[in-house]
Copies of this chain bind each other. A is one copy, B any other.
Amino acid sequence: MTPAPTRPGVQGPTVADVGEFGLIAAITAGLAPTASVPVTVGDDCAVLAPTGRLAVSTDSMVEDVHFRRQWSSARDVGRKAVASAMADVVAMGARPLALVVAVVLPPDLPAAWAQELGVGIRQEADLCGAVLAGGDTAGGEKIVVAVTVFGDLEGRTPILRSGARPGQVVAYIGNLGMAEAGLTVLRRGFRSPAAVVNAHRVPAPPYDQGIVAAEAGATAMIDCSDGLVADLRHLAEASGVVIAIETENLAVAEPQQTVAAAIGRADPLDFVLRGGDDHALLATFEPGRVPAGWTVIGGVAAADGDPGVLVDGAPFTATEGWKHF
């Protein structure tokens, strides 16, 4: 690592000063091989040794599309990138095992920002029990964090989106619409209520509940990333069923009510029905087999016509969920 020149207007060395190898060394310091990741960073590949089949997903976050540096710290961005990707592994009923990260970093970005990003990545990996197994850095104009995550199915059958059947119940665990309420206040220049702003910055997927649901016999499961109704629709379409939910089963949290009142939004339930990025788990079960802590919000019915979602008995037609582009 070369000595870092001080530049006008920049606090400390930049990514260009520290260089690719210096950054990787800083972010991966202290990583050691484990039984399930016997070869880690430093070779052409990492080697994974799962006990069963492997669930794999990839997800990326782009500066000014998925996060803004003035709203989220580097550590928040690292944690969110891992959490939002690993939620997909959890939704298969797999145990978080490992991850690899490809980052694009502007050369003039403070190196400290990149290092804090790495701290956030490792912090969230620790929280869900996964090992950072490799990565790649490249230069570019905007920050991109692309995370690929691995989960060990440990002999369990993966829980797909397509297994919901009429007569089953639909339930969730985790937050709904909290991140969306947080983003709403950040967009208006506010920084509170803390509960919703923090939910936007770092989601809290229920990491241990995917396996719990699988062991309880969940018939279908999905990570709620696009929004409650949007993701239930994905599940309904994959299963060829209608999912009917009742809003009386959905609680609006106090800070969501506060935000809705402050911005003159007619119905705070909108956050809950449409807000994405919280990474709750949605799953279907045979009646009476719903695990403790999950909230039943409705049921599965046969599709007479098109599969879809009914909210309080009516089709939910308003624009749903987050779409890129």
Name A residues whose Cβ lies closer than 8 Å to a Cβ of B.
15-16, 19-20, 38-39, 42-50, 53-62, 65-66, 88-89, 91-92, 94, 98, 100-102, 104-105, 107, 133-142, 144, 146, 148, 150-151, 153, 158, 160-162, 221-223, 238, 323-325
Contacts and interface: CB of A to CB of B under 8 A. Distances in A.
Contacts of A158: 39, 43, 45, 47
Given A54-B54, A60-B102, 17 more contacts: A19-B323, A42-B238, A43-B162, A43-B238, A44-B222, A44-B223, A45-B89, A49-B54, A56-B150, A58-B102, A60-B146, A62-B138, A65-B139, A102-B148, A137-B324, A140-B142, A148-B148
A144 B141 contact: no
A237 to B, nearest CB: 10
A98 B57 CA distance: 12
A60 B145 CA distance: 11
Most central of A50, A101, A107, A141 by chain B CB within 10 Å: A141
Nearest to A149: B45
Nearest to A62: B140
A15 B46 CA distance: 34
A98 to B, nearest CB: 8
B141 A141 contact: yes
Contacts of A58: 100-102, 134-136, 146, 148
Contacts of A91: 44-45
Contacts of A53: 38, 47-49
Contacts of A148: 56, 58, 100, 102, 148
B57 A134 contact: yes
Given A43-B92, A45-B56, A45-B89, A16 B144 contact: no
Nearest to A21: B323
Nearest to A55: B45
B160 A43 contact: yes
Contacts of A136: 58-60, 146
B19 A325 contact: yes
Contacts of A88: 44-45
Nearest to A65: B139
A44 B136 CA distance: 24
